[in-house]
Structure formats: structure tokens, C-alpha cells
Structure 1
Amino acid sequence: MMQQRQHIVQRYEDELLRLRSLMEQMGGLVEHQLSLILASLAGNDTRTALEAAQQDSAVDALEHEIEALAIRLLALRGPMAVDLREIIACIPMASALERMGDYASSIARRLNQMDQPIPHTARTALHEMGRLVLDHLRRVMNALERKDAREAHAIWQADQLVDQYGNAMTGDCLKQMTHHPQTIRLHISLLFIIRNLERIGDHTTNMAERIVFMVTGTTLPSARPHAHDDGLSPP
């Protein structure tokens, strides 16, 4: 009886480790998608961007595997306390990563379809915004691995910087469309890319909220602080 109980406990631990590993793999894939997009922007190489879109199916497959394993753990293993919160949190976090992968793929396809070159200033700004979004994603995945609620909370607060970039770039796109009507199609594409980067940032923030709850059992306020709350100005 004791040996059987130990075997059950070991199986549970192995499955929990597997769940964590799958989350790490999924986050790594989405990080790679964003890295390819940044490389495409830096080198003006649409083929590199398309590599990001081609990874979308692998991201989707990992989401399904994570969800199935999490449900199995909940149904058969009876987890409690922190383990229970972690397993429950993995389902919406995997969904958030899947949506990030979708947005990354959408950006990649948009870059490949553009029939006008992106001006250097706009390309540089997009690259910087993308770099910030990727940095936040990497930090949130590290916070998940280390169960670091303090770092997750810092990422939650830092999302306002992504919004600042998005707002500034959106305003510039609208100005360019007004003054240079021949570039309307180009700037509509840029607006889609900016919006998708903002959405990736939003999902990263949602993951940060889940991590805080997973570790502490407490929820963050429904509204994040805005830039004017701490004196920050748009870039």
C-alpha cells in the first residue's frame, strides 16, 4: 500500500513537472516568433517574418496539450493550495500565449504583404516597441518559472510603457495619413501591427496577474496605473 501511494505521488509530481515544461516550451516558441519579427524589422527581410507565422501551429498544439494535462491533473490528482492555483492558472495562461502567437503571426503576414517600404523612423519605432514587448514576455516567463510575484507585479505596472509607444506611434501614423494620402495603405498596415503588439502586451499583463494570484492567492486591481500617475511621459 505504501509503495502504491509513493508511486501515485511520484506520478503526480512528474505530471506537474511536465505541465511546467510545456508552459516553458510554449512561452519559448512565442518569444522566438517575436524575435523573428524583430529581426525582420531590423533587416527589412519579409522571409524572416514568415518563419514566425509558420510556428503558429506548434503553439496551438502546445496549448491543447497543456489544457488536456491540466484538466487531467485537476480531475485525477486532487491538487491543493499552491499546486491547485498553479494548475488552474496554466489554462488561461496557455490561452494567452496562444493568442500572442496569433498576433505575432498576423504581424508577420502583414509585413510580408506590404507593398511599400516602411520608413526608417517608423521601422525603428516599431522595433523598439517590439523589443519592449518581447522583454516583458521574457520577464513574465521567468517570473512564472521562479514563482516570483514581485517581478510579475512589476511587469503588470510596466505595461503602461507599451501603451505609450502605441499611442505615440498611432498619432504619428494618423498625421502621416492626413499629410501624405498616398501612404494611407502603408500606415493602415502599421496601425494593425501597432495594435497587435499592444494586444501581446495586454496578454503578457494578464499572465502577470495570474502569476501573482498563483503565488499569493490575491488578485491585482482591475485597472492598471496610467502613465500620468507617476510622471512618465510618452517616448
Structure 2
Amino acid sequence: MHQKQHIVQRYEDELLHLRSLMEQMGGLVEHQLSLVLAAITENDGQAALLAAQQDSDVDALEHKVETLAIRLLALRGPMAADLREIVACIPMAGALERMGDYASSIARRLSQMEQPIPRPARLALSEMGRLVLEHLRRIMDALEHKDADAAHAIWAADQLVDQYCEAMTADSLEQMTRHPHTIRLHIALLFIIRNLERIGDHTTNIAERVVFMVTGSMLPPSRPHGHDSQHSPPRQEPPRS
């Protein structure tokens, strides 16, 4: 009887450790993205450097999550909700690792830019980045509290991130056409915009896994489309000649 209790307690401890690793990983990626936003809004080269340097720590946490999840599946025989949670942790950790990669890529691109980002583009990037960061924080909170409704709301809200991406991409392409001497700058901006949008996509991937983990049901294969949000992305003003 004592041996059985010990096994159950060991399993509970390992499951708690898995949850703790996921929280650490989410917190680290949030910090990376916060540093990237500081680099964008304040032209802070040191923040960009720190964001890029944290990528290896995110990778190490992903490896720990995957190793522990596989161990729990192989040795503990989890069932029902526990099984769904442990299985879901592997792709969720993968999504967080990819977010960290994109944040690092943005940070490196910022540190390599030969000219400052114009103020209108800087403001738009900051707004898009804050929205992506808010969604990441909300989905990690939904994961911690096993809140399927909150996860579903974040999954649907990603269309606003897509709207920012579309509007800002159109603006950059227009500026490249009107001001050919800014082509290198706007290629860099397009790269940053696209990577922020991809971080948002991975947030929705985690949202899908949280809903599955809690309910056992999968969300539809695609989000609802449309532009009926109460918010709209800002239109960048053309730079003054």
C-alpha cells in the first residue's frame, strides 16, 4: 500500500513539474518578446541583444518538457484528462520554441538595421507587438487555469493580428514603390511584421491544444474570417520628404 502511494505521489510530482516547466517556458518567451518590443519602441540595442541571447534557454526548456512528457507517457500510463494534458505539452512546447526563434530573429534583424525605423512604422509595429504579447500572456494564463473559453477567445482574436499584418505589409510595399531608396529598410520591416504574425499564429496553435486538453474536442481547422472587429490597425502615414 505504501509503495502504491509512493508511486502515485511521484507521478503527481512529475506532472506538477511538467506544468512548472511549461510556465517557465512561457514566461521566458514573454520576456523575450517584451525585450523585442523595447528594442522597437525605444530603439534599445541592448534589449535586442538580450532577446537574442535567451533563445538557447528556451530551447533547453523545450527539451526538458519533451523528455519529461515522454517519460510520463512511457512509465506512468496516464489516462483521460492527464493523458490529454501530457500529450498536448509536447506540441505546445514546440510552439513556444518557435515563438522564441521568431523573437530572436526579429532581435537580430533590429540590431543589423542600417537606419532607424520611421516613427509611423515604429508606432504600428509597437501596437502589433503589444497585441501579440497580450495574446501570449492570456493563452499562458488560460493554460495554467485550464480555461477552454479563454483559449477559444484568443484563438478567434488572432484575426486582428492578421489585419495588422495585412495593413502594415501593404503600407511597406507602397513606401517601397514611392520611395525606392527605402527598399532595404522596408524589406527589414516586412521581415519583422511577418515574424510577429507567425508568433501570433503559434499562440492560436497553443489555444487549440488548450481547448483539446480541457474538453477533448478539437476546434475547427480555420478561424472565422472577416473584419468586424471593433478595433482596426493604424494606417501608417507616408514619411515626409
TM-score by length of 1: 0.97
The 8 Å contact of residues 161 and 227 in structure 1, kept in 2 or not, is answered as: no
After TM superposition, the structure 1 = structure 2 runs for residues 49-68 of structure 1, keeping only pairs within 5 Å, are: 49-68=48-67
Aligned equivalent of 1:155: 154
The CA RMSD over aligned residues, in Å, is 0.9
Task: Point out the more displaced range, 52-61 or 41-50.
Answer: 41-50
Aligned equivalent of 1:83: 82
Residue type matched to 1:219 in 2? Answer: M
Per-residue displacement from partner, 1:113-150 (whole Å, max 9, x unpaired)?
A: 00011000000000010000000000000000000000
The 8 Å contact of residues 227 and 233 in structure 1, kept in 2 or not, is answered as: no
Aligned equivalent of 1:33: 32
Aligned equivalent of 1:137: 136
After TM superposition, the structure 1 = structure 2 runs for residues 93-172 of structure 1, keeping only pairs within 5 Å, are: 93-172=92-171
The 8 Å contact of residues 131 and 161 in structure 2, kept in 1 or not, is answered as: yes
Residue type matched to 1:30 in 2? Answer: V
Aligned equivalent of 2:200: 201
The 8 Å contact of residues 49 and 108 in structure 1, kept in 2 or not, is answered as: yes
Provide the rounded CA distance (Å) in 1 between the counterparts of 2:147 and 2:232.
Answer: 28
Residue type matched to 1:209 in 2? Answer: E
The 8 Å contact of residues 12 and 77 in structure 1, kept in 2 or not, is answered as: yes
Aligned equivalent of 1:218: 217
Residue type matched to 1:192 in 2? Answer: F
Aligned equivalent of 1:191: 190
TM-score by length of 2: 0.95
Provide the rounded CA distance (Å) in 2 between the counterparts of 1:188 and 1:46.
Answer: 19
- Residue aligned with 1:225, SS: coil
Provide the rounded CA distance (Å) in 1 between the counterparts of 2:48 and 2:200.
Answer: 19
Deviation at residue 4 of structure 1 after TM alignment: 0.1
Q: Which runs of 5+ in 2 are unaligned?
A: 234-241
The 8 Å contact of residues 160 and 229 in structure 2, kept in 1 or not, is answered as: no
